[in-house]
């Protein structure tokens, strides 16, 4: 009996960071290239899944030293020379397309070697003929156990002669990739010519880019052929970092469209090799999320104002693994969408086009299905229709990991605003094909998002604290508090009471008669404002010349600071009571004095010229330098970069960059 999993919706906007598994295609290519280059390589961030384990096992049987450590996600390969170490081996390639093709080509290069290949039955039917023909041309011989030109078979390796080699890779681009990666072991330069086109071009690009990266001589010629030199890299790579898997990223990149908030995809900023990266552009084009690159990662944020996009159809033929992600989440779209170029996915894990249509209909999506497309209508009344259903909708997964993951993401939307699960995934274990602990990661992303967090943002005047804090508060559902306005409010009241020149004793005496309160207009803003005896002082009255001149003087008085301390700390409870995901408080001493244990401490800085320019642009004349000097040099709670704070110099960054970096720190915090 297979189990099922109820998906718990996110009751708060997403706020989590995700460590993605490494890419399978890159992991297996890196292993082969390590073997071909003949050095010692540590593959970091490697994927551990059935297909990569099969590849590692084949290399071991061929005599390479392979040492894998699942916990640290690394695979060490030592090739101790150029050619395949063992002259004979029995190899099992399972149903791993990459291992089946890449290892066959590698073995063919070892003249005189004898190798027996077997596989899962499913592999008996998958294409290998194109590669076998290309290897025959160069001297290898084959004996087939069953059907001609299919697994299982015995190969007598004839080496690779090089020269002009024809290959028919129309059935799979892996046939071509296999030949390209083995060709540096040929006797002379190889020119690989395609006898007909190939599919999944981005994967061929991936192969070429990785070969160049490993130091092999290879190029694509204008006539569409490929030239591979025989000179092996002089300096062998010692380590290779596998890009996080872009298809896996698609699930968490789209999540904020359904839950709100933001998700940080760790180590994702510098990915370049994978065709599925294009999916992130599609998400932006659809107006679902906005992607920001931040140091080391990519931040996916629910799009607020990308506007209505006129996106009628999108062709997924090059990135078809990701069509399911968009199809399942199309509930969040405003317009009808046509997903095209997907007929070949009918012959994948399952008939993905029909399977998606069936399951989407179960959750009240209006879907029309064609041989090569799905057309999905917006999901306006679905919530209502679903409310009448008893219990969660059973989603069949057809042993297809991508259906399970896509609907897991859809079920994360809290459509009833009750936290009640409304999607039940059958056979959730099927995700182990590429991402064993996907549902654990989804659960911990939800738990992280539901944890209350305190964010302290400190910095001098005009470094951008307010605009950044306000934007982040809206993005992540945090209550925003500007403590500068607290000091300004008290200064305003003191001036109004003719106490502009009051000393600390007089100021304290005045404050002891004041009652602090909080005003809050959640419909229009995420900012809580301080009131004095129930009165909210207008913004413009807080920024007068008189207030600007006096505020740092009053702020340097311990009595004034103490008066505000408890009030400011009480804002955390206030934010919780009002259903926020956390509190973002900005000022000069938030991370150092008010919340020294804040979950996130950010210190913003900018050079003086930039700050003066920013203020001038806002039409504010303010002696920033003088105020900063006073704030930094006072005895009580001086302006400092708090211990453990992330310092962001905003001088050369756009506001959006600073917002994204700050949000990324918050996503990472818990
Ligand atoms: O951020 P602002 O310019 O509105 O702040 C006004 C003044 O308040 C600033 O000169 C220093 C003071 N302040 C402070 O001392 N501690 C805080 N946490 C916030 C502001």
- Please write the tens of the pLDDT for every residue from 517-528: 999 987 778 999
Task: Tell me the whole-structure pTM to 2 decimals.
Answer: 0.90
Atom of ligand 1 nearest to the CA of 487: 8
Q: Which of 465, 543, 555 to mutate to test the pocket of ligand 1 (most atoms within 8 A of CB)?
A: 555
Cα–Cα dist 206/176, whole Å: 12
Decide which of 621 and 322 is more confident. Answer: 322
Q: What is the CA(484)–ligand 1 centre distance, in A?
A: 4
**What is the predicted pLDDT for the residue at 309?**
63
Q: What is the CA(462)–ligand 1 centre distance, in A?
A: 11
**What is the predicted pLDDT for the residue at 488?**
97
Is the predicted pLDDT of residue 367 greater than 60, yes or no? Answer: yes
Mean pLDDT, residues 387-393 taken together: 82
16-30, 117-131, 443-457, 601-615: least confidently modelled range:
601-615
Q: What is the CA(319)–ligand 1 centre distance, in A?
A: 51
Q: How far is CA 240 from CA 30, 40, 46, 49, in A?
A: 8, 11, 9, 18
Task: Tell me the pLDDT tens digit for each residue of 636-670.
Answer: 888 889 889 999 999 999 999 999 999 999 999 98
Q: What is the CA(487)–ligand 1 centre distance, in A?
A: 6
**What is the predicted pLDDT for the residue at 381?**
54
**What is the predicted pLDDT for the residue at 582?**
98
pLDDT bin (cut points 50, 70, 90) of residue 388 is confident
Is the predicted pLDDT of residue 275 greater than 80, yes or no? Answer: yes
Mean pLDDT, residues 103-113 taken together: 98
User: Which amino acid residue places its CA nearest to atom 20 of ligand 1?
Assistant: 484
Cα–Cα dist 75/368, whole Å: 45
Mean pLDDT, residues 229-255 taken together: 93
**What is the predicted pLDDT for the residue at 617?**
81
Atom of ligand 1 nearest to the CA of 552: 10
Mean pLDDT, residues 80-98 taken together: 91
Atom of ligand 1 nearest to the CA of 543: 4
Do 392 and 423 touch, CB atoms closer than 8 A?
yes
Residues ≥6 apart with Cβ < 8 Å to 323:
316, 339, 342, 345, 352, 356, 374
Q: What is the CA(49)–ligand 1 centre distance, in A?
A: 54
Catalytic pick among 276, 321, 414, 482? 321
User: Which amino acid residue places its CA nearest to atom 6 of ligand 1?
Assistant: 484
Do 463 and 606 touch, CB atoms closer than 8 A?
yes
**What is the predicted pLDDT for the residue at 630?**
84
Cα–Cα dist 105/183, whole Å: 9
Decide which of 171 and 149 is more confident. Answer: 149
Same fold, 4-20+244-449 and 25-241: yes
**What is the predicted pLDDT for the residue at 147?**
97
**What is the predicted pLDDT for the residue at 107?**
98
User: Which amino acid residue places its CA nearest to atom 2 of ligand 1?
Assistant: 484
User: Which amino acid residue places its CA nearest to atom 1 of ligand 1?
Assistant: 484
Domain 25-241 has CATH 3.65.10.10: yes
| Antiparallel, parallel or unpaired: β 453-459 and 14-18 | unpaired
User: Which amino acid residue places its CA nearest to atom 9 of ligand 1?
Assistant: 552
Domain 453-668 has CATH 3.40.50.300: yes
Q: Which residues line ligand 1 (CB under 6 A)?
A: 461, 483-484, 487-488, 551-552, 555, 587-590, 627, 631
Task: Tell me the pLDDT tens digit for each residue of 166-204.
Answer: 999 988 899 999 999 999 999 999 999 999 877 778 999
Q: Residue 403, SS3?
A: helix
Q: What is the CA(665)–ligand 1 centre distance, in A?
A: 23
Task: Tell me the pLDDT tens digit for each residue of 529-549.
Answer: 999 999 999 999 999 999 999
User: Is 321 in the active site?
Assistant: yes
Percent of the chain with pLDDT over 90: 79
Do 334 and 378 touch, CB atoms closer than 8 A?
yes
Name the CA dihedral angle for 355, 358, 360, 365, rounded to a multiple of 10 degrees.
150
> Which of these CATH numbers, 3.40.50.880, 3.40.50.300, 3.65.10.10, 1.10.340.30, describes 4-20+244-449?
3.65.10.10
**What is the predicted pLDDT for the residue at 260?**
96
Nearest alpha-carbon partner for 291 in 304, 300, 278: 300
Mean pLDDT of the chain: 93
Q: Residue 264, SS3?
A: strand
**What is the predicted pLDDT for the residue at 383?**
54
Mean pLDDT, residues 287-315 taken together: 85
Cross-strand partners of 369: 374
Cα–Cα dist 608/598, whole Å: 28
Domain boundaries, the chain: 4-20+244-449, 25-241, 453-668
Do 476 and 263 touch, CB atoms closer than 8 A?
no
Q: Which of 458, 480, 487 to mutate to test the pocket of ligand 1 (most atoms within 8 A of CB)?
A: 487
Cα–Cα dist 541/491, whole Å: 10
User: Which amino acid residue places its CA nearest to atom 8 of ligand 1?
Assistant: 484
Atom of ligand 1 nearest to the CA of 555: 15
Is the predicted pLDDT of residue 590 greater than 60, yes or no? Answer: yes
């Amino acid at each position: 009996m297979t189990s099922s999993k109820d998906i718990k919706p996110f009751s708060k906007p997403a706020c989590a960071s995700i460590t993605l598994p490494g890419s399978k295609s890159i992991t297996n290519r890196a292993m082969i290239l390590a073997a071909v280059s003949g050095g010692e390589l540590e593959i970091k961030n490697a994927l551990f899944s059935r297909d990569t384990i099969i590849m590692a096992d084949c290399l071991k049987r061929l005599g390479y030293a392979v040492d894998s450590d699942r916990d640290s996600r690394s695979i060490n390969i030592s090739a101790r020379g150029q050619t395949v170490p063992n002259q004979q081996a029995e190899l099992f390639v399972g149903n791993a397309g990459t291992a089946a093709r890449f290892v066959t080509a590698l073995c063919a290069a070892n003249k005189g070697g004898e190798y027996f290949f077997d596989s899962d039955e499913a592999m008996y039917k998958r294409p290998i003929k194109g590669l076998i023909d290309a290897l025959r041309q160069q001297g290898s011989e084959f004996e087939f156990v069953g059907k001609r030109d299919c697994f299982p078979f015995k190969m007598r390796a004839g080496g690779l002669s090089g020269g002009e080699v024809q290959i028919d890779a129309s059935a799979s681009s892996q046939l071509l990739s296999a030949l390209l990666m083995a060709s540096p072991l040929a006797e002379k330069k190889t020119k690989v010519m395609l006898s007909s086109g190939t599919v999944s071009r981005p994967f061929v690009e991936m192969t070429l880019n990785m070969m160049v990266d490993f130091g092999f001589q290879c190029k694509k010629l204008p006539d569409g052929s490929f030239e591979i030199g025989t000179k092996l890299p002089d300096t062998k790579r010692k380590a290779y970092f596998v890009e996080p898997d872009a298809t896996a990223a698609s699930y968490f990149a789209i999540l904020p469209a359904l839950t709100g908030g933001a998700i940080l995809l760790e180590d994702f900023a510098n990915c370049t090799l994978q065709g599925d990266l294009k999916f992130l552009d599609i998400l932006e084009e659809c107006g679902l999320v906005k992607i920001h690159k931040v140091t080391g990662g990519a931040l996916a944020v629910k799009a607020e104002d990308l506007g209505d996009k006129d996106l009628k159809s999108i062709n997924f033929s090059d990135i078809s693994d990701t069509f399911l992600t968009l199809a399942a989440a199309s509930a969040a779209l405003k317009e009808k969408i046509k997903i095209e170029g997907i007929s070949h996915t009918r012959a994948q894990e399952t008939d993905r086009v029909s399977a998606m249509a069936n399951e989407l209909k179960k959750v009240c999506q209006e879907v029309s299905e064609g041989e090569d497309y799905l057309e999905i209508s917006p999901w306006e009344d679905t919530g209502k229709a679903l409310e009448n259903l008893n219990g969660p909708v059973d989603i069949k997964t057809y042993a297809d990991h991508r259906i399970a993951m896509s609907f897991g993401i859809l079920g994360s939307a809290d459509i009833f605003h009750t936290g009640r699960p409304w999607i039940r995934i059958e056979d959730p274990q099927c995700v182990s094909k590429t991402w064993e602990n996907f549902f654990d990661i989804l659960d911990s992303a939800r738990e992280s998002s539901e944890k209350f967090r305190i964010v302290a943002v400190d910095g001098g005047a005009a470094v951008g604290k307010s605009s950044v804090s306000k934007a982040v508060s809206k993005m992540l559902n945090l209550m925003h508090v500007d403590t500068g306005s607290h000091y300004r409010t008290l200064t305003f009241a003191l001036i109004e009471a003719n106490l502009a020149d009051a000393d600390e004793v007089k100021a304290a005496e005045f404050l002891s008669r004041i009652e602090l309160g909080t005003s809050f207009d959640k419909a229009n803003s995420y900012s809580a404002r301080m009131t004095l005896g129930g009165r909210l002082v207008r913004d413009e009255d807080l920024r007068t010349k008189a207030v600007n001149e006096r505020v740092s003087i009053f702020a340097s008085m311990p009595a004034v600071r103490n008066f505000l301390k408890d009030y400011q700390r009480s804002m955390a409870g206030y934010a919780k009571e009002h259903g926020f995901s956390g509190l973002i408080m900005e000022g000069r001493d938030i991370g150092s004095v008010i919340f020294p244990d804040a979950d996130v401490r950010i210190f913003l800085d900018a050079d003086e010229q930039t700050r003066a320019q920013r203020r001038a642009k806002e039409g504010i004349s303010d002696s920033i330098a003088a105020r900063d000097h006073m704030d930094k040099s006072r005895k009580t709670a001086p302006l400092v970069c708090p211990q453990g704070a992330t310092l962001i110099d905003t001088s050369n960054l756009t506001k959006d960059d600073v917002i994204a970096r700050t949000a990324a720190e918050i996503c990472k915090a818990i």
